[in-house]
Amino acid sequence: MKSFFTKLACWLALTAAMACPWGVFAQSTAYPTKTLRLIVPFPAGGGTDTMARTLGDLLSKDLGQSVVIENKAGAGTVIGNDAVAKSAPDGHTLLINTNAFAAVVALHSKLPYAGENAFSAVTLLGRAPNVAVVNADSPLRSGSDFMSYAKANPGKLSYGSAGNGTSTHLAAELLKSSGQLFVTHIPYRGATPAITDLMGGQVDVVFGTLPSVAPFIASGKLRALAVTSATRSPLLPTVPTFAESGAKGYEADVWYGIFVAAGTPASIVQQLNSALKRVTATPEFKKRAQGEGLVISMETPEEAQAIVRADVIKWRKVIQAQSIKPD
């Protein structure tokens, strides 16, 4: 009888072992198993693109799989976002985007994907400021000068941005909204024509990304009034923030984030987060980040998702208050 029960116990154990673990084996499947695609929703050659290429090279070495960079620019990053939102949720298609990712959700009432809910955030790599700059001959010397003059002379100042709904546009509109300023917006198609007109005297102020204006500040052709981040930039340590200049609580920096399609297993999202922590700690990436004025932060997936959701709400309020419409 004892022999019978021993055999029965062994048979039950064997049956359980055979029946169970399809899920266990599936969970332990190696990742990645094929080439990764890193989608950049901006044209080749820009700051996000060059950052993506550095990141791709380093991720390839870290994960042991090739990383192919694909530029899918257009519609304010919607085209690239949509490609990732509709990709297989297996962690092999990644999106790198700025806070334009949150802005387009706030700006468009209808998108081809389910807004921020179509993605799982892997991390925010870090943050960089926008900068308000003037021609070197401008009488405006500081952020407080700009705000004081704009408040005392409604409609007399104009500012240029890289385009409607861009981070530079929204940063300025948040300042206008919070400070009750009336400054005319002139949208350009990119930073270069805006800066050209600023130096030519056709516009009074330009809100630009740090990499786009830094060479002109260094050469003395432009003067920085203030940065839009909560803290001063390491690349412009003598330039105050707008918050320091009188816009209490103002903050409108640019973050760079990595996303995958919603439904990607949490274990894969965490593996990607860990890999990105390793590669962003390398000298190669730190050098690239410094060139973009990026302060590396590397949030957890949960923290990144919460920041993105909060940004959608923040920018939707600004867009509605300022009656901003997409091009």
The CATH number that applies at residue 174 is 3.40.190.10
Statement to judge: residues 110 and 177 lie in one domain: no
As for how many domains the chain has, the answer is 2
**Within a domain: residue 245?**
no
Under DSSP, the state recorded for 47 is H
Position 283 scores a pLDDT of 97
Q: Are residues 134 and 174 in the same domain?
A: yes
Give me the mean pLDDT over the 67-89 stretch. Answer: 96
How far is it, in rounded angstroms, from Cα 245 to Cα 241?
6
12 belongs to a structural domain: no
- 259 and 123 in one domain? yes
Residue 31 is assigned to a structural domain of this protein: no
Residue 30, in any domain of the structure: no
Of the pLDDT bands very low, low, confident and very high (cuts 50, 70, 90), residue 45 is confident
pLDDT at 266 over 50: yes
HEC states along 151-164?
HHCCCCCEEEECCC
Asked whether residue 166 is assigned to any structural domain, the reply reads yes
Same domain, 144 and 212: yes
Same domain membership, residue 110 and residue 197: no
Alpha helices in the chain (DSSP H): 2-19, 22-27, 47-63, 78-85, 100-107, 143-152, 167-179, 191-200, 210-219, 266-280, 283-291, 301-321
Query: Are 176 and 319 within 8 A, CB to CB?
Result: no
Q: Domain containing 285 — which CATH number?
A: 3.40.190.150
Single out the residue in 210, 227, 244 at which a domain terminates: 227
259/110 same-domain check: yes
Q: Which of the four pLDDT bands, split at 50, 70 and 90, describes residue 14?
A: very low
261 and 122 within one domain: yes
Domain that holds residue 174: 130-227
Final residue of a structural domain among 227, 247, 276? 227
Can you list the alpha helix ranges (DSSP code H) found in 88-244?
Answer: 100-107, 143-152, 167-179, 191-200, 210-219
**pLDDT at residue 269 greater than cutoff 70:** yes
Residue 24 covered by a domain:
no
Looking at the fold, whether 101 and 182 belong to one and the same domain comes out as no
Is 3 part of a structural domain of the chain?
no
Average pLDDT score over the chain: 91
Pair (209, 284) in one structural domain: no
Mean pLDDT of 160-171: 92
> What pLDDT is stored for residue 29 in this prediction?
61
Secondary structure (3-state) at 306:
helix
Q: Are residues 140 and 212 in the same domain?
A: yes
pTM for the whole thing?
Answer: 0.86
Do 40 and 101 lie in one domain? The reply is yes
Name the band, by pLDDT with cuts 50, 70 and 90, for residue 122.
Answer: very high
Looking at the structure, tell me whether residues 144 and 291 fall in a common domain: no
178, 211, 227 — which closes off a domain?
227
Do the domain assignments include residue 250? no
For residue range 175-228, list pLDDT tens digits in order. 999 999 999 999 998 889 999 999 999 999 999 999 999 999 999 999 999 999
